[in-house]
């Protein structure tokens, strides 16, 4: 069970539309049975990766391997890859059964086999008994399930999901996140999920690939990406964050906002300029004297779960705090935080050297559960 089987690999893939590069020389591999998420703003090229893998477009440069085979001359209908579309793209002239059975009919399976497989998959997405329903009369959530069933019934090696939850309302979306995750773990099929919603990505994925302007900026588990963002872009995109300019004095000591602090990062040049990230929920409000930093509160917003407090320190840096305790605008308060709450980012660091440095310098405490154990099952 320890074999980490590579199912998809992109080798130096580049895609251009009319000389404009939408994907810049991308290389990555996907292992069998994991939940991957491509995360990025619209227009960053994440959907292009799906289209390339499904075979709807072909790469300008480089090769894509599916199950170890070059897909160059494989048309979409011959690839063991299926897609769940953002608008579901169900066939309105067919009922639920015929929609789900479509792929099997194209493969010329026998009537009994089709019936058996379709009712099994409808049960899987909890739509048993809906066979005869017309698509036009269904709700968004139900259509979503039909779309998933229609793709899954073909037993694809990789299931591609192109922002499938974006058309649902918040409550339903959260429910579907759990359901999709659970479905993926039960079936052991590789999922490649595309979204611009960072919460969705954090909640569901084994591994997240953060994209920006046609490039993969950082790859890692949700915890890695949240706790150790590689640069300002990732830190900003994944969750709220306070990013201030700082200077690395020596390993494990950083200075920002006019003071020096203990931290858990190292491997930079002495006196190197860095970006310092502290998450708003890691900052604890205290009395002004007790805090490591002092800020003057400017605004306070009630967010339901917490108050969102924004203030300014003596150096003119802005700090956002998520706190369950409230304060008042205009008050001076202190901020407390632990050394491991401080994340240091070098400017313009590549992903490889970043990973290497993290490997060497991160305090053992910040290592979470080892990857890979999860594969069994």
How many angstroms separate the CA atoms of 343 and 350, rounded? 16
Stretch that binds other proteins, among 7-15, 150-158, 223-231, 331-339 (CB under 8 A): 150-158
What number of other Cβ atoms are within 10 A of residue 14's Cβ? 15
Judged by beta carbon, residue 61 or residue 134, the one nearer other proteins is 134
Question: Is residue 143 a contact point for other proteins (CB under 8 A)?
Answer: no
What is the size of the binding site for other proteins (CB under 8 A)?
A: 36
Residues 312-351, interacting with other proteins (CB under 8 A): none
Residues 15-74, interacting with other proteins (CB under 8 A): 54, 56
- Residue found by looking up tokens 């009630």 in the block: 302
Of the candidates 137, 304, 364, 377, which one interacts with other proteins according to CB under 8 A? 137
How many angstroms separate the CA atoms of 19 and 375, rounded? 41
- What does DSSP assign to residue 314? T
CB of 28 vs other proteins, minimal distance in Å: 22
Sign of CA dihedral 234, 239, 244, 249: negative
Sign of CA dihedral 123, 128, 133, 137: negative
Stretch that binds other proteins, among 25-33, 59-67, 131-139, 209-217 (CB under 8 A): 131-139
Nearest to 123 by CA among 94, 153, 103: 153
Nearest to 230 by CA among 214, 250, 215, 251: 215
How many angstroms separate the CA atoms of 151 and 131, rounded? 16
Q: Which residues of 195-227 are buried (b: 16+ CB within 10 A; e: fewer)?
A: bbebebbbebbbbbbbbbebbbbbbbbbebbbb
Of the candidates 6, 63, 69, 78, which one interacts with other proteins according to CB under 8 A? 78
CB of 108 vs other proteins, minimal distance in Å: 10
CB of 147 vs other proteins, minimal distance in Å: 8
Judged by beta carbon, residue 17 or residue 56, the one nearer other proteins is 56
Judged by beta carbon, residue 94 or residue 310, the one nearer other proteins is 94
How many angstroms separate the CA atoms of 335 and 294, rounded? 6
Of the candidates 85, 252, 307, 361, which one interacts with other proteins according to CB under 8 A? 85
Judged by beta carbon, residue 133 or residue 332, the one nearer other proteins is 133
Of the candidates 37, 48, 154, 177, which one interacts with other proteins according to CB under 8 A? 154
Per-residue HEC secondary structure of 248-287 comes to EEECCEEEECCEEEECCCCCCCCCEEEEEEECHHHCEEEC
Stretch that binds other proteins, among 145-153, 207-215, 261-269, 357-365 (CB under 8 A): 145-153
Judged by beta carbon, residue 139 or residue 318, the one nearer other proteins is 139
Per-residue mark of binding to other proteins, 91-130 (x: CB under 8 A): xxx--------xx--xx------------------xx---
Tokens representing 212?
Answer: 């920006």
Judged by beta carbon, residue 107 or residue 290, the one nearer other proteins is 107
Q: How many helices (H) and strands (E) does the chain have?
A: 9, 20
Contact residues toward other proteins (CB under 8 A) are: 54, 56, 75-78, 81-83, 85, 87, 89-93, 102-103, 106-107, 126-127, 133-134, 136-139, 141-142, 145, 150-151, 154, 172, 175
């Amino acid at each position: 069970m320890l074999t980490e089987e590579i199912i998809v690999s992109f080798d130096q893939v580049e895609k251009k539309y009319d000389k404009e590069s939408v994907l810049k020389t991308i290389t990555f591999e996907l292992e069998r049975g994991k939940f991957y998420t491509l995360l990025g703003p619209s227009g960053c090229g994440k959907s292009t990766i799906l289209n390339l893998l499904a075979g709807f477009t072909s790469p300008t440069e480089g090769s894509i391997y599916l199950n170890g085979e070059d897909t160059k001359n494989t048309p979409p209908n011959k690839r063991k890859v299926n897609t769940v579309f953002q608008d579901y793209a169900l066939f309105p002239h067919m009922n639920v059964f015929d929609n789900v059975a479509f792929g099997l009919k194209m493969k010329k399976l026998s009537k009994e086999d089709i019936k058996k497989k379709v009712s099994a998959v409808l049960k899987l997405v909890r739509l048993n008994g809906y066979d005869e329903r017309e698509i036009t009369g269904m709700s968004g959530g139900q259509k979503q399930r039909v779309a998933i069933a229609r793709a899954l019934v073909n037993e694809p090696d990789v299931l591609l999901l192109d922002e499938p939850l974006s058309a649902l309302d918040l409550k339903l979306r959260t429910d579907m996140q759990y359901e999709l995750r659970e479905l993926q773990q039960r079936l052991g099929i590789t999922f490649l999920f595309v979204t611009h919603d960072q919460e969705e990505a954090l909640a569901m994925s084994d591994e997240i690939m953060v994209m920006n302007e046609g490039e993969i900026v950082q790859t890692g588990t949700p915890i890695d990406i949240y706790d150790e963002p590689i640069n300002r872009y990732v830190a900003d995109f994944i969750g709220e964050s306070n990013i201030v300019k700082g200077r690395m004095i020596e390993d494990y000591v950083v200075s920002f906002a006019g003071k020096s602090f203990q931290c858990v990062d190292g491997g930079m040049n002495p006196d190197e300029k860095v970006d310092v990230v502290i998450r708003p929920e890691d900052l604890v409000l205290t009395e002004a004297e007790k805090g490591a930093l002092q800020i003057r509160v400017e605004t306070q917003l009630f967010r339901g779960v917490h108050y969102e407090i924004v203030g300014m320190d003596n150096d003119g840096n802005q700090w956002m705090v998520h706190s369950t305790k409230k304060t008042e605008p205009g008050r001076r308060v202190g901020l407390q935080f632990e050394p491991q709450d401080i994340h240091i980012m070098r400017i313009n660091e590549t992903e490889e050297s970043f990973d290497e440095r993290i490997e060497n310098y991160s305090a053992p405490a910040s290592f979470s559960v080892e990857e890979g154990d999860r594969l069994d099952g």
